[in-house]
Structures are given as C-alpha cells and as structure tokens.
Amino acid sequence: MSVRSCVPSLADSATNTLPSGLGLYIHVPFCLQKCLYCSFYSVTNQPDLYNRYAAAVKEQILRFAERSDIQAQQVHTIFFGGGTPSILGSDLLTRLLKNCFLNFDCAPGLETSLEVNPATVDQAALHELRRAGFNRISIGVQSFDDRELEVLGRVHSAADGIRTVQMARRAGFSNINLDLMYGLPDQDKHKWQESLQQALSLQPEHLSLYELTMEGNTPFAQRYDRGELRLPEEEVVLAMVATTEEMVTAAGLHRYEISNYARPDRKCSHNINYWHNASWLGLGPGAVSSLNGCKIKTISDVECFCQPGANKEERETLDNEAAFRETVVMGLRMIGGIGLEELEKRFAINAISYYGTTLDRLIAHNLVTIEEGRLRLTGQGLLLANTVMAELV
C-alpha cells in the first residue's frame, strides 16, 4: 500500500479552519447491556433513574445557560452520545433537546446528532425524534456478522442493524452514520469485507470505522490477558485497512479523519469541533467540557449526578503549552492536519521551533509532513498514529 494512496489531497480533506461557535454534548450513561470492549462510563438496568437523570441534565443546562461566556457563543452542533441515548425513549430525548433549544442560542439548521442502538428504537420513535429536531443519526451496528456481534456482547442482530437504517430513512433522516469495528477476534479480511460491503449497500452518508483496541478494566482486556481471545495478526489488520480505503473511496465516501469517512458536505461538524480542540460544553455524568482553556469534568456517578445540589464537577485549567500540545495531537487526527500559522496565532508558539529535533526525526522517518503550511500525518504516519502522537504530546 503506497503512502500516497492513503492520503487524500488537501483540497479533499477535512475543514481546515477553526470552527466558530460552541459544540454541545449530552452524555447518556445508560445501556441495555455493557459491551465487552467498552470503557466509556455507563450503567445497566436502571430505568428508574431516567427521569431523574433528565431533570439533572436540565439543571445543568439552566446553570450553564446563565454564564456570560456561554451566552456570548452560538451553539453550532448538538450531540447525544453514550452509553445508549436511544434507551431513554423519544419522549425524554425530545424533552432534553427542547431544553437545549430553549436555553441556548442555537444556530439555524444546526447539526443535531443522536447515537442509536438498533435494539432500542422502532419506527414510531424514529419519526418522533426526527420531528423533534434530530437531523443526524449514528447507528452503532459494529458488525453485520451475527457471530461477531455475539462475541462483542451486542444485544442486536445484523438484521436489526439493516432494519434500523431502513426505518431511519422512512422517518426522514438523510444524514446517517454507521459505526463498524474491525480487527475483531478471529476476523479475517474476507469477513471484514462482507461486513463493510453490507454497510456500503445501505448508502450511509458517513462511516466511522474503528479498529478494536483493548481498553483496560474491560472484560475483553481481561480475556485477552488470559489468552482467551485471538486477535488478527498485524498483516491481516493492515490488509483490512487497505481494502477499506479502496471500497469506501469507490463508494463515494472520503476519509477526513483517521477513523471517519463521509460524503461531500456530510462530515460530522460536532467531531470536527472536537478535533480542532475548540469549545464545547459537556453535560451528563462522565462528560467533559472545554471552555476557554478550562476542562470541566462532570462526575462519573449517575446516582450522585441525579442528587439535587450535589457537587458534580471538577475543573482543571491547562497552561498554554499543554493546551498547544493537546491541540496538535488532536488536530493530527484530521487528514488535512493542522495549520501552522493558525496554531501560532492561537497559542503564540511556533510548532517547528517548539518540537525541533523531534519533528525533524518524524519527518525524516516519513511519519509527518509539512505541505502548504499544514502539519499532517503521512500514509505511514496514519498507520502509526499513536506512536507519532506519543512523541508530540
């Protein structure tokens, strides 16, 4: 696989300018069943908390909406993630979205995304969610192979995934993302091709394609450490990556971030805002906000979060250098990389001087390149992104 074949031209790459406005993220920490690979904060079998959770999020919304720095910014994206947001049901989700619309200055036609598990929605719910104002739906399919879904601990079938996409179309969603995972236990290139081809046949506007990673303190990591899981060899995973690029590009979707592909004008604005390390407000237990260099972490305990008046947040202010390094590492996830002039204006730090011999070494090893004033990963660098970023963090 050539380096050039992996990297789109800068003209075709992701948005290159720093997003304006504020992103809004609502974390819904509930699931039907915890997936065996997942390290995100979530709890299972607690429907008695749903209404209390919604009331606590509204309390957060009202409190942040009073801040002058929030009032001074227009909300350009809203994203409900999890967990499994769709488990709340259309009534509660509609209520939460309405609270966002009522209390923040929301841009006309802003992107409003909702993550959905195929086992938790029906046709009526999807119609209601579309009417409420959700206009982008992200369906966590993960695989179109039932055996792989069982290994992952998913609670839906491949047929459920297909049916959910079809129902979303009938409900009026014209911006659909599908999440898929590769590098799964005992998965080979052929199995991955079949799953990816099924996804492409549904003609999604966006694909998020993630390699399985072993996150600490998950059942998968524990089983892997005990030698109970056999993951594909590196050359098999590389073959999956190569065939992904060929198949997805041929289907009219273009890679704009390490793990994300989209049709023209269907890149995820919420995530672009995040990768630019711009401003976003995170609500709900486990969510993180990034506001004016201050990180605000909401407590990862839904019971405590639901208690009125409880101390729910911790704050950390990054110094200028730390914020600079964080922005570089996050921005390099974008295929278009990060603009050096823009970076220097933002932090008053020249990246070439700052990284010095470290950057020279990464360029010499063909892991990063500087073109048209932008620092970005090469094709080889995309394959070794974690290694590169560890050098720059």
pLDDT digits (tens, 9 = 90+) for 320-373: 999 999 999 999 999 999 999 999 999 999 999 999 999 999 999 999 999 999
- CATH of 321-393 given 3.90.420.10, 2.30.40.10, 1.10.3080.10, 1.10.10.920: 1.10.10.920
Find out if CATH 3.20.20.70 is the number for domain 15-274.
Answer: yes
Which pLDDT tens digits describe the chain residue by residue (393 residues)? 232 233 333 333 334 456 678 999 999 999 988 888 888 888 998 999 999 999 999 999 999 999 999 999 999 999 999 999 999 999 999 999 999 999 999 999 999 999 999 989 999 999 999 999 999 999 999 999 999 999 998 899 999 999 999 999 999 999 999 999 999 999 999 999 999 999 999 999 999 999 998 887 888 888 888 888 889 999 999 999 999 999 999 999 999 999 999 999 999 999 999 999 999 999 999 999 999 889 999 999 999 999 987 678 899 998 999 999 999 999 999 999 999 999 999 999 999 999 999 999 999 999 999 999 999 999 999 999 999 999 999
Tokens of residue 193, six digits: 């091709």
HEC states along 177-195? Answer: EEEEEECCCCCCHHHHHHH
Domain ranges of the chain: 15-274, 321-393
Bridge partner list, 370: 375
- CA pair distance 21, 105, nearest whole angstrom: 10
Residue 26: count of CB within 10 angstroms of its CB: 24
Amino acid at 91: D
pLDDT score recorded for residue 17: 55
Model pTM score? 0.92
* C-beta separation of 50 from 102 below 8 A: no
> Using a CB cutoff of 8 Å and minimum separation of 24, what contacts does 226-235 make?
229/185, 230/185, 230/186, 231/183, 231/184, 231/185, 232/183, 232/184, 232/186, 232/187, 232/188
- CA pair distance 196, 198, nearest whole angstrom: 5
Closest residue by Cα to residue 35 from 194, 187, 188, 143: 143
Backbone angles phi, psi at 294, to 5 degrees: -105, 130
In the chain, DSSP finds a helix count (H) and a strand count (E) of: 17, 17
